[in-house]
Amino acid sequence: MTLLDKDGVRLAVDGAVATVTLANPAKRNAQSPALWRALTEAGRMLPGDVRVVVLRAEGKSFSAGLDRQAFDPEGIDGELSFVDLARASDEEIDGTISTYQDAFRWWRRPDLISVAAVQGHAIGAGFQLALAADLRVCADDVQFAMRETSLGLVPDLTGTHPLVGILGYARALEICATGRFVHASEAERIGLANLVVPAGELDGAVADLAGALLAAPRNAVVETKALLAGAHSRTYEEQLAAERAAQTRRLRDLVGLGD
């Protein structure tokens, strides 16, 4: 069932699995504020029984990054140009970028597991959108690159936090500061890709992973995700205490003593 189809974004739901598709292959799924608003809307429209969200893209490229028209002095038609944004107050710039980031925030909601199916180029904003998902399954032709620094900018679409979490500071800095390509074999070796498959097998591999993610009871998966997501901010003893508390809730739920 299709719930949304606008501005290069399509949302379809089939039971517990939702699929968000970047649907502008003619422009290699270039991103714009309109697309970000549609992604934010897709997140808000998810039915409550959705457990897995798949992010995929039509065409040869996942996303070539920000629409190049944004770098023209007049910007993208109907949108605030970079020149106008730079002339705004600090508060206005902060608020505008925060609104853009909304399109990337919701993929790590505690009640969902999100899987990005990535093929071809995932550049700049495209790389950051792939990083927004919990997991990444990649085709063997994938090429990641963080080009913002090369353009005199910084990655500001939520990508820095997961990138450092996956790669560590030194590797993340090197990839961002050089803007170089990370190809499939390296992406799998350093943990950017959970799995790399031939391009023709990408959809099937993602479907298999989604099915496996649905096999365990939802509450157990939600509790486990919370434990893992918060582990880096807890001490060892705090993590042990969090495990005990989560297991107490699970045990009581399993015997019918939950809230």
Q: Which long-range contacts (CB under 8 A, 24 or more apart) does 215-221 make?
A: 218/51, 219/250, 219/253, 220/250, 221/51, 221/113
For the segment 178-213, what is each residue's pLDDT rounded down to a tens digit? 999 999 999 999 999 999 999 999 999 999 999 999
Length of the chain: 259
pLDDT value of position 195: 98
pTM, rounded to two decimals? 0.95
Task: Read off the pLDDT of each residue in 205-234 and give the average, rounded to a whole number.
Answer: 97
pLDDT value of position 31: 97
pLDDT value of position 235: 97
pLDDT value of position 73: 80
Task: Read off the pLDDT of each residue in 33-55 and give the average, rounded to a whole number.
Answer: 98
Say if residue 137 is in the same domain as residue 161: yes
Half-sphere exposure of 45 (CA within 13 A, CB side): 20
Q: Are 85 and 243 a contacting pair, CB within 8 Å?
A: no
Band (70; pLDDT cuts 50, 70, 90): confident
Asked if pLDDT for residue 259 goes beyond 90, the answer is no
pLDDT value of position 239: 98
Say if residue 129 is in the same domain as residue 84: yes
- Buried/exposed 102-127: b ≥16 CB within 10 Å, e otherwise: bbbebbbeeebbbbbbbbbbbbbbbb
Cα dihedral: 203, 125, 195, 162 (round 10):
-140
For the segment 72-109, what is each residue's pLDDT rounded down to a tens digit? 888 888 898 888 899 999 999 999 999 999 999 999 99
Q: Are 206 and 118 a contacting pair, CB within 8 Å?
A: no
- The proportion of the chain whose per-residue pLDDT surpasses 90, expressed as a percent, equals 92
- For residue 51, give the 3-state DSSP assignment: coil
pLDDT value of position 95: 97
Give the span between the Cα atoms of 115 and 107, in whole angstroms: 9
For residue 130, tell me if it sits in a domain. Answer: yes
Say if residue 180 is in the same domain as residue 79: yes
For the segment 136-165, what is each residue's pLDDT rounded down to a tens digit? 999 999 999 999 999 999 999 999 999 999
Asked if pLDDT for residue 258 goes beyond 80, the answer is no
- CA dihedral (192, 157, 53, 134) positive or negative: positive
Say if residue 174 is in the same domain as residue 80: yes
- 230 C-beta neighbours (distance < 10 Å), count: 13
Say if residue 233 is in the same domain as residue 248: yes
Residue whose structure tokens are 């993610």: 213
What tokens were used for 174? 């090197």
Say if residue 155 is in the same domain as residue 64: yes
Taking all residues of the chain, what is their mean pLDDT, rounded to a whole number? 96
Q: Which domain holds residue 233?
A: 218-254
Say if residue 231 is in the same domain as residue 151: no
For residue 259, tell me if it sits in a domain. Answer: no
Give the residue ranges of DSSP H helices in 71-181.
82-86, 90-105, 125-132, 160-167, 169-178
Say if residue 141 is in the same domain as residue 208: yes
